[in-house]
């Protein structure tokens, strides 16, 4: 049965889900609404790894994504004068910075595929529209064949079937203002959702999918403000992302991190591009920052400037660049943990339902896996939409638990208040780099980790040495019903 489906949010997970739904059932009518007046392309480098890699291959988007990959090979720590203290996150065993091909990088600081968020959003949206065009063309061809066959049938031979093609539309500058669920008058089971848009139109859908990010409004409307607020577990870290024009001295395939006093850190990522990404992180001034998120961008920038003045390294240049940039984005980092991913006929996808936080490096990978499972279960369950949502919830729960594990435990270690803490971190990185701990731990992984844990510097080492993918962890299910063949 074709479904009328509404997806809120044209970020990463929404368009990928639309793509998979369109492939699995050409008759669904799919509408994606986006709050911004056009695609929201802001954001810095994001990672695709692990389960995300076979999914982008199945979507036929691997080459397009790889062609936009950022050339980053690891990270180095710099002091307040910008001098290098040590490198980390480079998987030497796999070839480290000589790496030029996908599939070789480890799960370290730099992932298998690093891409600018805006590039990825463009690719996945274009991918969903491309598959829609193909389905329409196939149907047009099928219709012609059908007409030919019907003509033949009138002559006594031939048989055919006309396929109806559903729509896939993106609508911008649109949000939900309310939604009400209704149930079947006979069975009492969920039957659909009537929504009111910011344009005052009302429409009824069989299924509403909230893919509208970490602060999802769909979640608030479907699960109540109280549940929606309490499901956000802050890591106590705030971040601002933006880009500034590169200087020749920025050109590098290494991310650079400077840890400063008063719980502040600055990171730059350049990847040999003509703009340099700036990341500001802080565990201080949380109250002022939370207030600023409700204000306009100019007011937000003023708060960040005040906090980061005197941070060292190229603080003035970075803060002047912030004042001029057009892609500033700031938020509180945290994880979304809900007891259930659906309520009636509203279901959550990606950051809206299970944001693991950028500190896991898994936000995008998880949202791709979520879209795969949701589309797969809907295809498998056919008319039984409620059964599909229940199964999606069940399949995703153990995966979410695994993905939300924080590798570094208490992140406060990386945000020292005073000079002594900064000195320990800087010298720890320097010593480990000189002692070649990266290589040693790579050679004798098990005993090396034991020794450094006993020495009490485990967190630092975990930061410097790429984490190996766990064996026996959650496996991405196969869904032959999607019609995309087996996963690689
Ligand atoms: C502007 C921005 C910048 C980001 N930058 C980074 C980054 O630098 N590094 C990183 O690791 N992660 C970043 N993220 C998060 C990252 O994109 C996600 O973790 C991951 O890709 C999963 O994507 P998602 O589709 O679930 O959510 P998102 O990528 O957050 O997409 C959500 C989409 O929903 C739209 N939206 C929000 N509210 C509504 C509404 N009420 N109605 C309709 N549409 C709505 C948003 O504009 C956005 O297009 C950023 C997200 C955003 C929105």
Instruction: Give 306: exposed, middle or buried? Use CB within 10 Å, 0-12, 13-18, 19+.
Output: exposed
Convert the pLDDT of each residue in 457-479 to its tens digit. Answer: 555 545 444 444 454 589 999 99
Task: Say how many Å lie between the CA of residue 109 and the centre of ligand 1.
Answer: 21
What's the rounded mean pLDDT across residues 37-66?
93
ipTM: 0.98
Long-range contacts, stretch 421-430, CB < 8 angstroms, 24+ apart: 421/261, 422/259, 422/260, 422/261, 425/77, 425/259, 425/460, 426/77, 426/79, 426/85, 426/259, 428/457, 428/460, 429/77, 429/85, 429/86, 429/88, 429/460, 429/464, 430/85, 430/86
Please, what are the domains in the chain? 4-43+118-230+337-403 (3.50.50.60), 90-109+407-473 (no CATH), 235-333 (3.30.9.10)
Task: Say how many Å lie between the CA of residue 175 and the centre of ligand 1.
Answer: 15
Q: Is the distance from the beta carbon of residue 195 to the nearest atom of ligand 1 less than 6 Å?
A: no
What's the rounded mean pLDDT across residues 31-56?
93
CA 136 to centroid of chain Cα atoms:
30
Please report the pLDDT score of residue 450 as a whole number.
47
Task: Say how many Å lie between the CA of residue 58 and the centre of ligand 1.
Answer: 23
Whose alpha carbon is nearest atom 48 of ligand 1?
Answer: 11
Instruction: Give 477: exposed, middle or buried? Use CB within 10 Å, 0-12, 13-18, 19+.
Output: middle
Say how far apart CA 232 and CA 221 lie, in whole Å: 15
CA 90 to centroid of chain Cα atoms:
22
Task: Say how many Å lie between the CA of residue 328 and the centre of ligand 1.
Answer: 13
Confidence of residue 448 (pLDDT cuts 50, 70, 90): very low
Q: Is the distance from the beta carbon of residue 243 to the nearest atom of ligand 1 less than 6 Å?
A: no
Q: Is the distance from the beta carbon of residue 368 to the nearest atom of ligand 1 less than 6 Å?
A: no
Q: How many CB atoms lie within 10 A of CB 24?
A: 18
Please report the pLDDT score of residue 155 as a whole number.
53
Q: Is the distance from the beta carbon of residue 117 to the nearest atom of ligand 1 less than 6 Å?
A: yes
Convert the pLDDT of each residue in 211-264 to its tens digit. Answer: 999 999 999 999 999 999 999 999 999 999 999 999 999 988 899 999 999 999
Q: Is the pLDDT of residue 99 over 50?
A: no
What's the rounded mean pLDDT across residues 401-409?
81
Convert the pLDDT of each residue in 351-362 to its tens digit. Answer: 999 999 988 889
Closest atom of ligand 1 to CA, residue 121: 29
Q: Is the distance from the beta carbon of residue 172 to the nearest atom of ligand 1 less than 6 Å?
A: no
Say how far apart CA 240 and CA 308 lie, in whole Å: 11
What's the rounded mean pLDDT across residues 119-135?
96
Asked if 139 and 145 count as a contact pair (C-beta separation under 8 A), the reply is no
| Among 121, 177, 213, residue to substitute to test ligand 1 (most atoms within 8 Å of Cβ) | 213
Q: Is the distance from the beta carbon of residue 175 to the nearest atom of ligand 1 less than 6 Å?
A: yes
Q: Is the distance from the beta carbon of residue 31 to the nearest atom of ligand 1 less than 6 Å?
A: no
Convert the pLDDT of each residue in 141-170 to its tens digit. Answer: 877 776 676 666 655 444 445 568 899 999
Please report the pLDDT score of residue 113 as a whole number.
87
Mean pLDDT of the chain: 86
Task: Say how many Å lie between the CA of residue 212 and the centre of ligand 1.
Answer: 7
Q: Is the distance from the beta carbon of residue 358 to the nearest atom of ligand 1 less than 6 Å?
A: yes
What's the rounded mean pLDDT across residues 101-126?
73
| Among 6, 42, 43, residue to substitute to test ligand 1 (most atoms within 8 Å of Cβ) | 43
Nearest Cα to 12, choosing from 184, 211, 153? 211
Query: Could you give the dihedral angle defined by the CA atoms of residues 461, 464, 466 and 472, in that order, rounded to the nearest 10 degrees?
Result: 20
Please report the pLDDT score of residue 109 as a whole number.
60
Asked if 289 and 276 count as a contact pair (C-beta separation under 8 A), the reply is no
Give the least confident one: 132-136, 269-273, 337-341.
269-273
Task: Say how many Å lie between the CA of residue 428 and the centre of ligand 1.
Answer: 35
Closest atom of ligand 1 to CA, residue 212: 34
Task: Say how many Å lie between the CA of residue 213 and the centre of ligand 1.
Answer: 5
Asked if 74 and 114 count as a contact pair (C-beta separation under 8 A), the reply is no
């Amino acid at each position: 049965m074709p479904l009328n489906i509404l997806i809120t949010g044209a970020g990463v997970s929404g368009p990928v889900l639309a793509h998979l739904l369109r492939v699995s059932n050409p008759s669904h009518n799919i509408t994606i609404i986006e709050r911004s007046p056009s695609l929201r392309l802001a954001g810095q480098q994001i990672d695709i790894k692990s389960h995300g890699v076979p999914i982008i291959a199945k979507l036929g988007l691997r080459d397009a994504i790889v062609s936009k990959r950022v050339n980053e090979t690891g990270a180095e720590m710099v002091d307040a004068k910008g001098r290098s203290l040590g490198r980390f996150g480079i998987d030497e065993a796999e070839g480290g910075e000589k790496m030029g091909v996908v599939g070789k990088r480890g799960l370290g600081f730099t992932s298998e595929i690093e891409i600018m968020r805006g590039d990825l959003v463009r690719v996945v949206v274009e991918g969903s529209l491309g598959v829609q065009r193909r389905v329409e063309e196939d149907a047009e061809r099928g219709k012609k064949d059908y007409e030919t066959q019907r003509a033949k049938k009138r002559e006594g031979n031939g048989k055919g079937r006309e396929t109806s093609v559903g729509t896939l539309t993106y609508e911008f500058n649109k949000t939900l203002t309310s939604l009400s669920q209704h149930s079947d008058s006979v069975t009492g089971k969920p039957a659909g959702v009537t929504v009111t848009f910011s344009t005052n139109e009302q429409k009824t859908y069989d299924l509403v999918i909230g893919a509208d990010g970490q602060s999802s409004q769909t979640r608030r409307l479907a699960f109540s403000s109280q549940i929606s607020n309490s499901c956000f577990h802050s890591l106590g870290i705030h971040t601002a992302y933006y880009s500034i024009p590169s200087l020749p001295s920025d050109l590098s395939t290494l991310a650079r991190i400077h840890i400063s006093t008063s719980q502040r850190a600055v990171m730059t990522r350049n990847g040999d591009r003509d703009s340099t990404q700036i990341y500001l992180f802080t565990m201080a001034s949380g109250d002022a920052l939370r207030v600023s998120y409700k204000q306009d961008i100019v007011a937000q920038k003023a708060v960040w400037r005040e906090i980061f003045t005197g941070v060292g390294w190229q603080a003035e240049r970075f803060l002047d660049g912030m004042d001029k940039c057009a892609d500033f984005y700031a938020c509180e980092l945290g994880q979304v943990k809900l007891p259930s991913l659906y309520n009636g006929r509203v279901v959550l996808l990606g950051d809206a339902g299970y944001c693991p936080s950028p500190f896991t490096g898994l936000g995008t990978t998880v949202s791709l896996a979520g879209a795969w499972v949701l589309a797969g279960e809907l295809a498998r369950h056919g008319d039984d939409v409620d059964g599909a949502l229940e199964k999606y919830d069940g399949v995703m729960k153990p995966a979410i638990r695994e993905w939300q594990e924080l590798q570094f435990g208490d992140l406060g270690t990386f945000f020292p208040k005073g000079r002594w803490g900064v000195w320990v971190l800087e010298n720890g990185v320097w010593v480990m780099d000189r002692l070649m701990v990266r290589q040693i731990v790579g050679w004798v992984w098990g005993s090396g980790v034991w020794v450094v844990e006993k020495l009490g510097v485990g967190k630092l080492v975990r930061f410097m040495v790429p984490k190996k993918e766990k064996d026996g962890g959650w496996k991405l299910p196969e869904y032959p019903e999607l019609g995309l063949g087996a996963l690689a």
